[in-house]
């Protein structure tokens, strides 16, 4: 947690402050103050007022047009921020309200600093009609323009409905708060009227729904203060703009000031269970590789069969993608493929090296996944890895079968180095399935032994040395040497540059 002592609140916010507190929520200005370094916030465009005269709006004064915009610092580094004030016209977005947000996004791009939006709004200001929608359009355009150049973070600190949802949907990271965040295209009343379905707003688009089921939210917090602390921690891991070399020396090398408990180097070899069929928690592997600063998991509640997040390894910020054996055996399905692909593309956009920890039995079979489009979703993962030009290092921990072996950043998708543990298995499929196909007739008439043929298949095809002889594995390694191998590989790749390829505008990712 961080230290925060609340400065004096400007009298212009006092009335709204009490309204929000009665709802159990912080006011827009309190949220900014809780998020930023104390005393660092500078407000801009505070004098903006709407120019709508229809439906009784002519004589209505809405201070700062319902959204506070400005800039300040987090952990000493510049950020731009906006915070919608629900106590003023329900935080509704009119044309000039939208212009203020669009302008702060543009200012963040020009200043090369992260943008943080705190969303708490009833949606478009109906009295302004299509002009309100124009405000949204300008925001969306600037969100897209900023994408991949500066980090964009959305905090859902109340209602975010209708057209408002698409700005967070474009941004890089969405934070939600238990019992406070609501995010949906159409609310429960509209769903009842249109579909005759009774559902609460919370069940339709609450924080837990988006953190665990839809995957819209990347982070879930119990309280607003916990949410703001998580945002601050995220900004300690990620670059603050494309090309940011903070934490590196003049040549772009990693910062040597890091701490690592050397006892973890040996402990990594004790994580895998004795039997291949037994599960384990891949977080234990990550912990053995990471510096003492720990691992910041992204999308922790969603598609838990794959784990993604940020850590430091020997002082270098690293993005990690790992199959999670403890959930569905680490199999890849539609949601896991989407989750990993999005994270990979974020890391590639901001030049964050990628470490892949592979232990994957395949893509999830069955009619449900096929009908959801596992081909299309799995293709996103393959596309993201193949397209990524950052340093890519893969470690095969235990098994990598079939198309999933290819998809988890294999040498064939231009991983720079692929290491495999000595006990790992790399094959088209597991021994049981392979033997059933290869020796089906013989097994049926009893001329061969199932167990003997499975052992023969494992010995001949399912060991890392077979792949190493073919040049598909860079090196077969011991678990306790993993961190050293990874560190050396990323050091070697620190000056890696994108090679020129086929001249084209851009590819067509299978969205």
330, 285 Cβ separation under 8 angstroms: no
Q: Which of 219, 292, 256 is nearest to 491 (CA)?
A: 256
Backbone φ and ψ for 405, nearest 5 degrees, come out as: -60, -45
d(CA 374, CA 354): 24
* Active site (catalytic) residues: 162-163, 403-404
C-beta separation of 248 from 312 below 8 A: no
Helix, strand, coil shares, percent, the chain, to 5:
45, 20, 40
Q: What gap in Å lies between CA 407 and CA 213, rounded to an integer?
A: 24
DSSP 162: G
Is 260 within 8 Å of 314 (Cβ atoms)?
A: yes
Mind giving me the DSSP string for 100-147? HHHHHHHHHHHHT--EEEEE---SB-GGGTHHHHHHHHHHHHHHHHHT
Residue 57 · residue 73 · CB < 8 Å:
no
Q: Partners of 316 in the beta sheet?
A: 313
Total Cβ atoms within 10 A of residue 278 = 9
Closest to 357 measured CA to CA, from 309, 300, 293: 309
Cα torsion 166, 168, 174, 178 to 10°: value is -80
Query: Strand 316-323 and strand 354-360: pairing?
Result: parallel
Closest CA to 50 of 96, 103, 104, 90: 96
Q: From CA 172, how far away is CA 283, in angstroms rounded?
A: 23
Helix (H) or strand (E) holding 237: helix 224-237
Cα 477 to chain centroid distance, Å, stands at 30
Exposed (0-12), middle (13-18) or buried (19+): which is 329, by Cβ within 10 Å? middle
3-state SS, one letter per residue, for 196-219: CCCCCHHHHHEHHHHHHHHCCCCE
Residues 6+ apart with CB under 8 A from 151: 114, 115, 172, 173, 235, 238, 239, 240, 241, 350
């Amino acid at each position: 947690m961080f230290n925060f002592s609340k400065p004096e609140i400007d009298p212009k916010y006092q009335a709204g402050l009490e309204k929000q507190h009665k709802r159990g929520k912080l006011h827009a200005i309190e949220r900014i103050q809780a998020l930023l370094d104390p005393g660092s916030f500078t407000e801009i465009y505070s004098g903006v007022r709407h120019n709508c005269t229809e439906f009784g709006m002519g004589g209505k004064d809405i201070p700062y047009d319902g959204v506070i915009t400005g800039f300040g610092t987090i952990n000493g580094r510049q950020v731009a921020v906006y915070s919608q004030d629900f106590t003023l016209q329900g935080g509704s977005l009119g044309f000039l309200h939208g212009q203020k947000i669009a302008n702060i996004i543009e200012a963040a791009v020009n200043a090369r600093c992260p943008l943080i939006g705190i969303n708490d709004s009833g949606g478009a200001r109906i009295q302004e009609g299509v002009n309100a929608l124009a405000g949204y359009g300008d925001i969306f355009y600037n969100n897209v323009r900023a994408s991949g150049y500066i980090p964009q973070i959305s905090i859902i600190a109340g209602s975010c409905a209708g057209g408002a949802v698409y700005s967070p949907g474009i941004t890089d990271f969405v934070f939600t708060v238990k019992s406070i965040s609501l995010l949906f295209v159409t609310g429960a009343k509209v769903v009842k009227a249109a579909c005759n379905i009774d559902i609460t707003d919370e069940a339709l688009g609450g924080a837990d729904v988006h953190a665990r089921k839809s995957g819209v939210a990347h982070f879930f917090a119990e309280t607003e203060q916990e949410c703001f602390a998580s945002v601050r921690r995220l900004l300690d891991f990620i670059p603050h703009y494309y090309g940011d070399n903070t934490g590196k020396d003049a040549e772009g090398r990693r910062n040597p000031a890091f701490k690592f408990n050397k006892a973890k180097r040996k402990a990594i070899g004790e994580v895998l269970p004795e039997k291949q069929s037994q599960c384990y928690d891949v977080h234990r592997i990550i912990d053995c590789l990471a510096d003492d600063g720990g691992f910041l998991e992204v999308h922790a509640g969603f598609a838990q069969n794959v784990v993604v997040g940020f850590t430091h390894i020997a002082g270098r910020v690293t993005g990690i993608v790992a199959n999670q054996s403890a959930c569905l055996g680490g199999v890849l399905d539609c949601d896991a493929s989407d989750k990993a692909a999005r994270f990979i593309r974020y890391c590639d956009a901001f030049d964050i090296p990628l470490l892949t920890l592979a232990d994957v039995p395949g893509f999830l079979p069955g009619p449900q996944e096929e009908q959801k489009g596992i081909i299309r979703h799995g293709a996103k993962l393959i596309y993201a890895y193949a397209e990524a030009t950052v340093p890519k290092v893969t470690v095969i921990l235990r098994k990598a079968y079939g198309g999933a072996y290819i998809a988890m950043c294999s040498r064939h998708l231009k991983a720079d180095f692929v290491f495999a543990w000595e006990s790992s298995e790399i094959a088209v499929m597991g021994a049981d399935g392979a033997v059933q196909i290869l020796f089906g007739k013989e097994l049926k008439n009893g001329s061969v032994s199932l167990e003997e043929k499975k052992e023969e298949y494992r010995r001949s095809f399912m060991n890392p040395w077979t792949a190493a002889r073919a040049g598909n594995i860079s090196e077969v390694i011991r678990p306790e040497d993993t961190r050293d191998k990874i560190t050396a590989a990323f050091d070697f790749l620190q000056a890696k540059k994108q090679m020129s390829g086929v001249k084209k505008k851009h590819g067509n990712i299978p969205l």
